[in-house]
Amino acid sequence: MDASRTPGTFSQRWSRLGPRLLLWVLLISGVITLSSITLQVSMDYRRDMGNLRNALDVIEKMELPSLTVAAWNFDRNQLQAHIGGMLESPWVSAAQLRYGVNENAVITVGDLTHDDPELREYPLIHTNGSVQVQVGRLLVRPNVDEVHRRTKERLFLILGTQIANALVMSASLLLLVSALITRHLHRMAAFARAFVPGATFTPLALDRGSASPNDELTLLQDSLNSAYSRLNAAHAREQRHIEELELSVAQRTEELRTINARLSESEQAMRVLAHSDPLTGLANRILLDERLDRALSRATRHRRDVVVLLIDLNDFKPINDRYGHAAGDDLLRTQADRMRLMLRETDTLARIGGDEFVAVLEDLDPKTDIARVIDAMTTALSTPWVWEGKTIMVSGSIGLARFPADASNAAGLLRHADDAMYVAKRHRRRA
C-alpha cells in the first residue's frame, strides 16, 4: 500500500466519490416533486378518513336505534337486513351483532376478529321507562383497507406520471452509479464469497485504472485485504485451539465413561445388597414386604388367592451349636437352594430371620397346587444333609396362610402363617 492511500492521508482529503453521488441525487430530487405528491396524497387520505368517520357516525345515530328495537324484539330477519345493509357502504368491511341472553345469538357479516385494533364496539341500550337495559352489542370493523387502497391507487397514478419525466435522468444516474460503484461492489462481493479462512488468497485489486482515486472504495478495498489477513491468522490460532480442546474433551470423556461404569456397577451392587440376604442370596425383609404388597394388590384387583408359607428349620440351633457357625451357614444355604428349586420363578422366597424363611405364591389352585408345593418343600427340607462326611437328618416346619381367607393384609398373613408354623413345630407335622 503506497503512502497516498494511508488512513491519515485519506482523512485530510475530501472524498471524490461523495460529491459526485450527492450532485446526482440532488438533481434527481429536484426533478421529482416529492413534496407536491406527498401533499396531494395526504389531502386525499384525510378526505377518505373523514368519509369513513361520517359512515360510522351514521351507524351510531341512525342504525343503532333500529337495531336496539329489533334486538329487544328478537327480530332476527330485521337484524340481518340491517347488518347486511351496513356492508353495502364501502367504509365498513365487517360487522357482528351479539344479542339475547348472555349474548348467545350472533349475526356476523364479513371477516371479523375480536383482536382487531380497528374494531369499534357499540352497546345496544333499550330504554323501558326509567330502566335502561343492554340488549346486545354491535361490533363494526371500519374498512381502513379501502382507504389505503384508494390512497395507493392515487399514489401509483401520480408516481406513474412523474416516472415518465424522470426516466432519462434515472437511466443516466443508473449508468453512472454502475460505472463508478456497482461493478466494484460486485467485485468485492465475489471476493468475499470466495474467501476461505486458512487458504491462501490473492489480495483484492479493483479495476479502476492506473491512478485509482483515493475514495471510499479504495479504503474499503484496503480494509478488506487487511481484515482477511487478520482472519487467516486468527483462523490458524483457532484451529490449534480446537485441536487442543478436542484432545482434552476426548480424554475427559473417556474418564467420565470409566467413572460412570464404576458408578453403575456400584449402584447395581448396592441395590442387590439392599434387597437381598447376603448369606443365601434370597430376598430380604425389605424386598419381601414390597413384593407381598404388590401380590396382594394384584390379587385384590383380579379376585385371586395369595398363599404365604412361613418355614422354620427344625433343630437348627443344636446343629449350629454342635458343628459350628460354618456348618450352620452351609445348612442355611443348602436348604435355601432346595426350597428355591421347588418354587417357580414368579414366586418369592425370602429369609427373614436366623432360620426362618417366607414364600409368597400367586395364581395357585387351592385344591391341588398348594398341597403339591408344601409336599415338595417338605420332602426337599427333609433330605439328609452332609457335613464333613457326616450325614445329618434335617427337616422343617411350614405354616400356611391364605389371602383373603385368613387375613386381609400382609402383617396379618405373616402372623397367621407364624402361628400355623408353631402349631406344626409342636406337633412335628406340616401345616
User: Catalytic residue positions?
Assistant: 355
| Alpha helix (H) residue ranges in 90-215 | 144-177, 183-194
**Number of other CB atoms surrounding residue 187 within 10 Å:** 16
Cα torsion 409, 415, 416, 417: sign: positive
* CA distance to 37, 79, 120, 286, per residue, from 101 (Å): 53, 16, 22, 64
Angle, CA of 240, 243 and 247, to the nearest 5°: 145
* CA distance to 25, 196, 294, 344, per residue, from 254 (Å): 66, 34, 41, 43
**Number of other CB atoms surrounding residue 329 within 10 Å:** 13
Cell of 200: 491462501
Cell of 100: 339475547
Chain-centre distance of CA 35, in angstroms? 53
How far is residue 366's CA from residue 383's CA, in Å, rounded to a whole number?
26
| DSSP letter assigned to residue 204 | P
Cell of 169: 435522468
Q: Name the residue with cell 472524498.
A: 15
How far is residue 116's CA from residue 101's CA, in Å, rounded to a whole number?
25
Q: Cβ distance 106 to 98 under 8 Å?
A: yes
Taking Cα atoms as reference points, which of 179, 177, 198, 181 lies closest to residue 189? Answer: 181
Q: Is 389 left (phi over 0), alpha (psi -120 to 50) or beta?
A: left
